[in-house]
Amino acid sequence: MKFIDQNAEMNDFQQGVSLIYQKLQTTLNQKGLKPIESSIGKDFDLDLHESISQVPTEDKKMKGKVIDEVEKG
């Protein structure tokens, strides 16, 4: 969806994909499946998150916190 939004010449294709995407989202929501809210800035929770790297920080407030989201859950 991000790629399609960046390319104006794909208007017809964009509309078709958007319709399919909206239908999929509606169906998943009706079944009770919802996206997990972003956890950026919150404490890292092993039950909810997967880590791909650790980043050193000088700010003590950010120690043990989620600083980036690579893939939405």
Q: Where are the domains of the chain?
A: 1-34, 36-73
pLDDT at 24: 94
In terms of Cβ atoms closer than 10 Å to its own Cβ (0-12, 13-18, 19+), residue 4 is middle
pLDDT at 33: 92
- Cα separation, 70 vs 63, in Å, equals 19
Write the DSSP assignment of 9-63 as a string of letters.
GGHHHHHHHHHHHHHHHHHHHHTT--PPPP-TTSBP-TTT---S-----S-GGGT
pLDDT at 27: 96
Q: Is the pTM of this model over 0.85?
A: no
* Two structure tokens written together for 37: 């809210």
Q: What is the pLDDT along the chain (73 residues), one digit of tens a residue?
A: 666 666 666 677 788 888 999 999 999 999 999 888 888 889 988 888 888 888 888 888 888 898 888 887 7
- In eight-state DSSP terms, residue 64 is T
pLDDT at 7: 65
